[in-house]
Amino acid sequence: MGKLIDSRLAGLVFAVVGAMSTQACGEDGTPGLPGGDALLEECGLTCSAEGIAEGNASISGVPSIDAFFSAVVNFNSKANLIAGNIDGELAKIKASVGLEADAPAADIEAAIIAKFSLDAEAGVKIAYEPAKCAVSAKATLEATAKCDASVDPGKASVECKGSCEAEASVEASCDAEAEVKCVGTAPMLACEGTCKGGCELEAAASCEGTCKGTCSGTCSSGDSENCNGSCDGMCEGTCETTASVECSGKCKGECTYTPPDAKCEAGATVKCEAKAGASVQCQGKCEGEFEPPMAKAECQASAKAEASVAVECTPPSIGVSYQFEAGLTAEAQADAQANLEAFLVSFKGSMSVIVAQLAQGELVVKAGAEIAAKGVGAVEGAAEALSGDASLKVAIGVSCAIDELPKVAGAMKGSTDSLKASVEAAGKLTASLGG
């Protein structure tokens, strides 16, 4: 492909330069004044000195081709950002427990146990729901339209095979292929569904989280009458949970419910959950597999890559369970408890970010692999489609793109390796903590 275009291009350039007239550059960039390479550059008939390695996505000047290079540049930027975020949060945690910056992430649990006089055998365990990751349908549509001018982002939609978050209004509705779910957050919300955050129990119940009240069993904080920890028994009071569970009381966090009339209360977020084997037309945020609107093949590929790289993951709430080592005096345990609670504020915040960034990082790494695997073929396909009747300027742009393709893998390697290293380090930490 590249050699064919290059030989054709060489003939075109030779013919044009040899037949230069006294006219200025035409609309297609054809030069009319003598001047050799300088004139070719002035008329936009040369490849840019800066390529993909320097973060330049405008390689060819052809939207359907440069969309691929834009996806590569955005991948590198996002991969480096996620790696930096993970490394930054790990550094905060290490510093707070007296570890050196280059200490392995797997050493963090032992450092926490030693610093706060915890039971080494019980260890420190974290609990959380998986981070929820979503792609923006709007961004996907805009990326598709930028690549393929025939796509109208105001009329097109994204096919979502998971859950599509619509606008938070009573007017938002779902099509026949979806089930309506409402998500509301309000203090003391009567919830006929699942609750995440805090449930004020009306009667003693098992609590998959932190029991604040009386535990008719063993409380991890050591005081069953004034429990503030995990409860191995029945909890009376408030159950604070990081997972969505049925709540036999009043929800003080996030409540997810199915409305009887398929309409959510004002202020609630409407989610359209695709039925088994179906997909929903989405113009909001899609959680799960998605497909851009119909467009040129190369534009669908680049739009999906752009959207996948731009995925955003919501940090989940983090629960922490632990036990103090045996033999501590009441005074020593009270001091350790106070210090630990202060530490857990920042620790939970950092772990929440890390968990979300881990989920995001895994999706971005996957998107990078898709870009590398399918992007080259898409660019070559677009070049083939243009090669028959392209203007001189387009032909040169296509040749520049073909010449740049072999450099893509090298441009992506550094950010890919950096992201994988950060994900691996954070993964070892969550694994050691049971997350």
Tens of pLDDT along 320-349?
A: 888 899 999 989 999 999 999 999 999 999
Q: Does residue 1 carry a pLDDT above 60?
A: no
Contact 311, 364 (CB under 8 A): yes
SS3 416: helix
Q: How far apart are CA 71 and CA 375, in angstroms?
A: 9
Residues ≥6 apart with Cβ < 8 Å to 179: 258, 272, 273, 275
Place of tokens 């971005």: 364
Q: How far is CA 212 from the centre of its chain?
A: 34
pLDDT digits (tens, 9 = 90+) for 122-172: 899 998 888 999 999 888 998 899 888 889 888 888 999 999 987 555 466
Which stretches does DSSP call E strand in 73-160? Answer: 125-127, 132-136, 158-160
Instruction: Check residue 167 and give its pLDDT.
Output: 58
Q: Which percentage of the chain shows pLDDT scores above 70?
A: 85
Residue 22 has pLDDT above 60, yes or no: no
Structural contact between residues 178 and 275, judged by C-beta atoms closer than 8 angstroms:
yes
- What pLDDT, in 10s, does the model give residues 52-104? 999 999 988 888 889 889 999 999 999 999 999 999 999 999 999 999 999 99
Q: Can you tell me whether residue 170 is helix, strand or coil?
A: coil
- Higher-scoring residue by pLDDT: 418, 42: 418
Task: Give yes or no for a contact between 157 and 277, defined as CB atoms under 8 angstroms apart.
Answer: no
Overall size of the chain counted in residues: 435
User: Measured between alpha carbons, how far is 282 from 160 in angstroms, rounded to an integer?
Assistant: 6
Q: How far is CA 112 from the centre of its chain?
A: 29
Q: Quick one: pLDDT band at residue 222, thresholds 50, 70, 90?
A: confident
Among 365, 303, 301, 358, CA closest to 76: 365
User: What's the Cα-to-Cα distance from 371 to each of 1, 70, 300, 307, 379, rounded to whole Å?
Assistant: 20, 11, 12, 12, 11
Greatest CA span in the chain, whole angstroms?
Answer: 97
CA distances from 424 to 170, 359, 418, 421 (A): 43, 12, 10, 5
CB-count exposure of residue 237 (10 Å: 0-12, 13-18, 19+): buried
Phi and psi torsions of 228, nearest 5°: -145, 65
Confidence of residue 296 (pLDDT cuts 50, 70, 90): confident
- Min mean pLDDT across 1-10, 67-76, 180-189, 267-276 is at 1-10
Q: Are 234 and 217 in contact (CB under 8 A)?
A: yes
- Encode pLDDT of 339-384 as tens digits: 999 999 999 999 999 999 999 999 999 999 888 877 677 677 777 7
Spatial distance between the Cα atoms of 255 and 244, rounded to a whole number of angstroms: 8
Structure-block tokens of residue 159: 């096919």
pTM of the model: 0.77
Q: How many CB atoms lie within 10 A of CB 272?
A: 24
What is residue 194's predicted lDDT score, i.e. its pLDDT?
A: 83
Whether residue 417 is predicted with pLDDT greater than 50 in this model: the reply is yes
| Strand stretches in 197-289, DSSP E | 199-201, 210-215, 218-219, 227-229, 231-232, 235-240, 245-246, 249-251, 254-257, 269-274, 280-282, 285-287
Assess contact for 217 and 233: CB atoms under 8 A: yes
Only one residue has tokens 């209004």, namely 169
| pLDDT value at residue 19 | 34
Say yes or no to pLDDT of 25 above 70.
Answer: no
User: What's the pLDDT score for residue 175?
Assistant: 80
Q: Which distant-in-sequence residues (6+ apart) come within 8 Å of 344 by Cβ?
A: 320
